[in-house]
Structure 1
Amino acid sequence: MAIILLGLLFHFIGSFSSASFYLPYRSVRLWSWENFWLLGGLFSWLIAPWLAIALTIPAFASILEAADSGTLGWTYFFGVLWGIGGLTFGLAMRYIGLSLGMSIIMGLTSALGALMPPLFNDLFGREDGLRLSQMLLSSGGQMVLLGVLGSLIGIVLCGVAGMRKEREVDLATKQSAVQEFNMKKGIAVALVSGCLSACFSYGINAGKPLALAAVAHGANSLFMNNLTFAVIMLGGLTTNALWCLHLSLRRRSLGEFVNRNTPLLRNYLLCALGGLLWYLQFFFYGMGESRLHNPTSSWVLHMSFIILISNLWGVCLGEWRGTAPQTRRILLLGIVVIIAAIGMVGFGSAVH
């Protein structure tokens, strides 16, 4: 049980980082979105992951050299798709804020990312990963799946509260919390982001041989996923860097990086902090998954904690100011359901 609690703690820390990463970006001044997103991405998708594997994975270069091209190719490919999800994630935060944006995106990501990999393993007979049939036949697996359902119900309730907020709050109040508020654009990009962000889970599943090879070469199992994450994030960096550079060139905004009329040092540090927080979610996610030994439960816990924390941030930032008491009660109910679901997933993992 102590190992399970440690896994839960790691997932909570990672989710707190994920739910908080955009806050430093909100304080960047006089820079275009594409520039601070690109700079933060260099820290989160390139600098931090490769520094992490250099510190935690012995002989990582040899592992990559010996890896099957299909493993590397699919892991990178899912990273590219996940990168599009991350790109639209940032846009969703701009248009509809933390609370509603996180609820929609994480709802889709949670369901697809948790259930598709074990279903894939069943359909294609993979023996090196968790299979859905195994979960259905064990009491612990059934509890985890019930927790998945509970989590989705809680996320839907948070989404319902967000929709009610849209009807109740005037535009001036919305824009005081989310300056570029645009409901139609926000919902559209959030749906795209939710579907494609789940590809990170598919990348972890595709890159499982890399994690096993890391352990075989002497890496601590606590950090076994770091090499897989680095390959996935190269895919994410490819997508985001190309798009952000395209926007910067089209808008002629690259000069902001050296414009002394902007708070350069402050902006660089804020972007570095935002990027580091974004990466730490996966660093601690990998540690949590290594202790729970159940990718489905780990994914759901991660997403549920993110929803929980991001909605609390939304309350602190005033995104729910001006809503009716009934709307806030629905939000609270959704948070309570998510907390209960987290407990079910944790218990199911312990007896799985």
Structure 2
Amino acid sequence: MIEGVLWAVFAGLMLGLYALPEKFTKGFKYENTWSLFFLLTMFVVPIIASLMLIQGFQEIFTNMPIDIWVKMGLSSFLWGIGVMMWSKAINHIGLSLGFSIFIGTIILVGSLLPFIVDGIPPSNVLTFVLLGILVVLLGVILNGKAGLTREKDEAKLNADQTTNSDKGSMTTGILIAVVGGLLATGFSYANAVGRPYLEEAVALQGNAGWVTAIAVMFPIFISGGIVMTAYFLWQLNAKKAWGDFRTSSFSRNFMLILIMAVFHYAASALFAYAASKLGASGNTVGYAIFNTASVATAIVSGIITSEWVRASSKARNMLYAGLACMIIGIVVIAYGNAQA
């Protein structure tokens, strides 16, 4: 159990850091950065990783039942839309607030969703898991409030920024983050549906147990990547952004975005591995720990990169309280899982 918790936390750290390199790209529009990111993280990285690491790749996936393909494909397609909306939310309301609201929605819905697939755990486990999720959710809400307070503090310092334009951008960003978070819970469902077959199929081909996590990610990322590719092709044309790829900083930008892609993919694969190590409640417990760790990491990185430098002490205190709640929530969830 401890091993699963540690891997889930590590996966969350990677997810929380994945978007950080975007701050250092130069000469790219939003469409350039994220179209290249999604191309790499949804297709290039998972295809290379799967072909290199999964023995019997063709046999495993050609023999996978159609109903599992359909369930994983549709839920992953929704997840892809959610992740795409997440990138838009970050663009509207920043890294810290974007993570808080998006992940808060995921924790509320996604942590409970696998119960439908895996079944309800024993009452003593369920009690602690639900209590831990509530504490985590309280922490995410406090972080969201901290972000809103920070925005108000910054608006007061910007004489050229009107209240109405602030509210419009903030409302839009929050709405995008919430809807995106709801759709992104498809990842947890796809993982829960596909894992039983893939775990058995991977073992029959002589693979180590950890390879199951790579196998689970393959249909999820390919299916999720389809919608993102279509959207960004349209956006690159609509915004006339193709020419921005011809910048002297392309090589630097490509390496930064490749780091983003590897971190994003590795975080998801490590979550799947952590879920397998956490037993019957792995999807629920792992999902809560994974997403909470990612929020905490994103917020800390936001502090380090001066996102909160102009925030009031009230905003920062709410941020710290939220982080404390999330850490306590992780401990409660982990304790509950240990009772299984």
TM-score w.r.t. length of structure 1: 0.88
Output one character per residue of 1:223-278: Cα deviation in whole Å (capped at 9) or x when no partner: 31321211011111101110101111222222333x2x431211111111111111
Quote the offset at 1:171 in angstroms.
Answer: 6.5
Structure 2 CA distance for partners of 1:286 and 1:168, relative to 1, 3 Å = same
Quote the offset at 1:172 in angstroms.
Answer: 6.1
Alignment of 1:200-215 (within 5 A): 200-208=187-195, 209-215=197-203
For residue 60 of structure 1, what is the aligned residue in structure 2? Answer: 57
1: CA distance, partners of 2:99 / 2:127: 27
Structure 2 CA distance for partners of 1:223 and 1:145, relative to 1, 3 Å = farther
For residue 41 of structure 2, what is the aligned residue in structure 1? Answer: 44
Say if 2:275 is the partner of 1:289. Answer: yes
2: CA distance, partners of 1:79 / 1:39: 20
Whether the aligned pair in 2 keeps the contact of 1:92 and 1:189 (CA below 8 Å) is: yes
2: CA distance, partners of 1:70 / 1:232: 14
Structure 2 CA distance for partners of 1:202 and 1:65, relative to 1, 3 Å = same
For residue 147 of structure 2, what is the aligned residue in structure 1? Answer: 162
Instruction: For structure 1, list consecutive stretches of 5 or more residues without a partner in the other structure.
Output: 122-129
1: CA distance, partners of 2:228 / 2:149: 33
Output one character per residue of 1:114-160: Cα deviation in whole Å (capped at 9) or x when no partner: 11221x23xxxxxxxx212xx2x342332222211211111111112
For residue 192 of structure 1, what is the aligned residue in structure 2? Answer: 179
Quote the offset at 1:102 in angstroms.
Answer: 0.7
The match for 1:109 among 98, 106, 109 is 106
Say if 2:134 is the partner of 1:146. Answer: no
1: CA distance, partners of 2:252 / 2:216: 32
The match for 1:228 among 216, 240, 245 is 216
TM-score w.r.t. length of structure 2: 0.91
Output one character per residue of 1:66-87: Cα deviation in whole Å (capped at 9) or x when no partner: 1111111221111111111111
Quote the offset at 1:50 in angstroms.
Answer: 2.2
Q: Structure 1: which amino acid aligns with 2:252?
A: R
2: CA distance, partners of 1:194 / 1:248: 24
Structure 2 CA distance for partners of 1:174 and 1:30, relative to 1, 3 Å = farther
Say if 2:243 is the partner of 1:255. Answer: yes
Structure 2 CA distance for partners of 1:131 and 1:345, relative to 1, 3 Å = same
Structure 2 CA distance for partners of 1:350 and 1:57, relative to 1, 3 Å = farther
1: CA distance, partners of 2:271 / 2:85: 22
Q: What's the C-alpha RMSD, in Å, of the aligned pairs?
A: 2.2
Structure 2 CA distance for partners of 1:140 and 1:174, relative to 1, 3 Å = farther
For residue 230 of structure 2, what is the aligned residue in structure 1? Answer: 242
2: CA distance, partners of 1:348 / 1:171: 45
The match for 1:89 among 86, 89, 106 is 86
Quote the offset at 1:62 in angstroms.
Answer: 0.4
SS in structure 2 opposite 1:252?
A: coil
Residue range with higher mean Cα deviation, 45-54 or 295-304:
45-54
The match for 2:255 among 264, 269, 274 is 269
1: CA distance, partners of 2:133 / 2:209: 26
Q: Structure 1: which amino acid aligns with 2:262?
A: L
Q: Structure 2: which amino acid aligns with 1:269?
A: M
2: CA distance, partners of 1:174 / 1:219: 61
SS in structure 2 opposite 1:225?
A: helix
Q: Structure 1: which amino acid aligns with 2:62?
A: E
Structure 1 segments (4+ residues) deviating >3 Å: 171-175
For residue 319 of structure 1, what is the aligned residue in structure 2? Answer: 307
SS in structure 2 opposite 1:321?
A: coil
2: CA distance, partners of 1:211 / 1:192: 31
2: CA distance, partners of 1:264 / 1:326: 41
2: CA distance, partners of 1:22 / 1:172: 27
For residue 318 of structure 2, what is the aligned residue in structure 1? Answer: 330
2: CA distance, partners of 1:247 / 1:8: 39
1: CA distance, partners of 2:324 / 2:105: 19
Percent sequence identity over aligned pairs: 24
2: CA distance, partners of 1:313 / 1:345: 25
1: CA distance, partners of 2:199 / 2:302: 36
Output one character per residue of 1:153-179: Cα deviation in whole Å (capped at 9) or x when no partner: 11111112222222222276699xxxx
Whether the aligned pair in 2 keeps the contact of 1:21 and 1:275 (CA below 8 Å) is: yes
Q: Structure 1: which amino acid aligns with 2:155?
A: D
Whether the aligned pair in 2 keeps the contact of 1:174 and 1:319 (CA below 8 Å) is: no
Quote the offset at 1:343 in angstroms.
Answer: 0.9
Say if 2:10 is the partner of 1:22. Answer: no
1: CA distance, partners of 2:201 / 2:20: 36
For residue 305 of structure 1, what is the aligned residue in structure 2? Answer: 293
